[in-house]
Structure 1
Amino acid sequence: MNQKVRAELILKILESKFMIPSVSEVADDPFRTLVRTIISQSTADVNTRRAYMNLSRRVELTPKGLAEADINEIEKALFTAGLYRNKSRILKKLAKTIIQNFGGTLDFIYSEPLMDARRKLLSLPGVGPKTADIILLFCANKPVLPVDTHVNRVTKRLGFAPPDAGYEEVRMALQSLYPPQDYFKVHMLFISLGRSFCRARRPMHEECPVNNLCPSAHA
């Protein structure tokens, strides 16, 4: 069985096993989505939600509002998130940079070609490839597939990328296997699989819904 056929079968099985949220459930406007994604780094989902809601109550979540906010207020809001002091400084610097370099808006993600928009996002404080790709896919429907820690682990265990592959190699491997219209679906379903069965420690190979198609389950 070739890789593309196996990849398609895996996706069909995962679609029957897990719910796929709508884009509107996981994304807001680009700046808010960017703020939430930065808060989520090294932070559990429940604490990310709590910190984000705290911040939205204390501060106007616009570049101007965050740039002008008192750093102590931001820190208090993000206290439940990991590395909250560092994230507070990054978010304030991020807001100021967007104002200074892009006129206070991220609207360029809609109008500019994918790689140009990606390059601009990567120039922002606290924005790495995963964060940039989330904004591009979730908010602008650009053809790019974000690779978070779950997607990375699942992709490698399924044998779609080498164990030592870096971010770009994993991303390109997945994008070669799936059509652009499935990128959001693949991203969300691989995360669900990674959280439920393909865990970092003690993966549940026997219970995994795609174990018959996964080389790691029979290694």
Structure 2
Amino acid sequence: MTSRASEIYRVLKENFERPVLPSLFKDPFQVLVITVISQNTNDLNTERAYRNLEERGLLSPEAVLKASVEELEDALRVAGLYRNKARRLKELAEVTMEEYGGDLSKLLELPLEEARRRLLELPGVGYKTADVVLLFCGRRPVIPVDTHVNRTAKRLGLASPRAGYEEVRLSLQSLYPSDPELYLDLHLLLISLGRKYCKAGRPLCDRCPLSHLCPSASSERSSFKDVGAVSRRGSAQ
């Protein structure tokens, strides 16, 4: 771990608490369910739809497979795109039952790259979802890159500004020891940073505890100075 990467992690740990993970993050199929629900909707509606499924006992692949499409659609309606999401859950449940006997945790016992490849073969599962399952459910050493992790890593100079998903993931993993608990910490802490200070539209660099370590914060301050100087010159003319 480089001294700068180490310092970033230390400051994150000092300023943000690691959130308590819901119990669903122990079950790979339930992680896939909530990922499907969350597409193109907000956190509140995602939670409502998930609770609807939970109340109906529709959180296992067996139950989803037996349920009618109409029942799934009704539970998912609050999250939008409910017809597509119901169909996707049916597809996931079918593959999980047919290929894994209803238990995706078997995947987590495979070598890491094979487990990741198998997860990516599941309907609708992309890199981030596969890595969330591997890290959260299996405690495997991968760092999922969601929108907050992507943005904060690039602004902090931990990844190239033009990097794609895999480049950001591998860059972060190269900077920190291959430790699942550290990776989980880093993932959650960068999300907290992105939500509180390093916002997509207008980052709150002047309040951010990492501003002294952030190249983007320095650029932001310089741009404000330049704007201020231009404004002062303009008002003097």
Shorter-chain TM range is over 0.9
Equivalenced residues, count: 217
1:185 and 2:176 equivalent?
no
Query: Pairwise CA RMSD of aligned residues?
Result: 1.6
Take 1:9 and 1:19, find their aligned partners in 2: how far apart are those partners? Answer: 17
Partner of 2:91: 93
Letter in 1 for 2:7: L
Unmatched tracts of structure 2, length 5 or more: 220-237
Q: Runs ≥4 in structure 1, deviation > 6 angstroms?
A: none
Partner of 1:72: 70
Deviation at 1:72, TM superposition (A): 1.6
Name which of structure 1's ranges 135-144 and 39-48 shifts more when overlaid on structure 2: 39-48
Letter in 2 for 1:71: V
Partner of 2:202: 202
Take 1:26 and 1:159, find their aligned partners in 2: how far apart are those partners? Answer: 33
Q: Do the aligned partners of residues 26 and 200 (structure 1) sit closer, same or farther apart at CA in structure 2, a change above 3 Å counting?
A: farther
Name which of structure 1's ranges 52-61 and 36-45 shifts more when overlaid on structure 2: 36-45
Partner of 1:120: 118
Deviation at 1:22, TM superposition (A): 4.0
Name which of structure 1's ranges 204-213 and 18-27 shifts more when overlaid on structure 2: 18-27
Partner of 1:174: 172
Counterpart contact for 1:122–1:129, Cα < 8 Å: yes
Take 2:206 and 2:80, find their aligned partners in 1: how far apart are those partners? Answer: 33
Alignment of 1:38-187 (within 5 A): 38-181=36-179, 182-187=182-187
Letter in 1 for 2:202: R
Take 1:123 and 1:179, find their aligned partners in 2: how far apart are those partners? Answer: 28
Alignment of 1:22-37 (within 5 A): 22-23=20-21, 27-37=25-35
Deviation at 1:26, TM superposition (A): 6.3
Deviation at 1:131, TM superposition (A): 0.3
Deviation at 1:178, TM superposition (A): 1.3
Counterpart contact for 1:59–1:69, Cα < 8 Å: no
Take 1:30 and 1:206, find their aligned partners in 2: how far apart are those partners? Answer: 40
Q: TM-score, normalised by structure 1?
A: 0.93
**Between Structure 1 and Structure 2, whose CA radius of gyration is higher?**
2
Identity %: 53
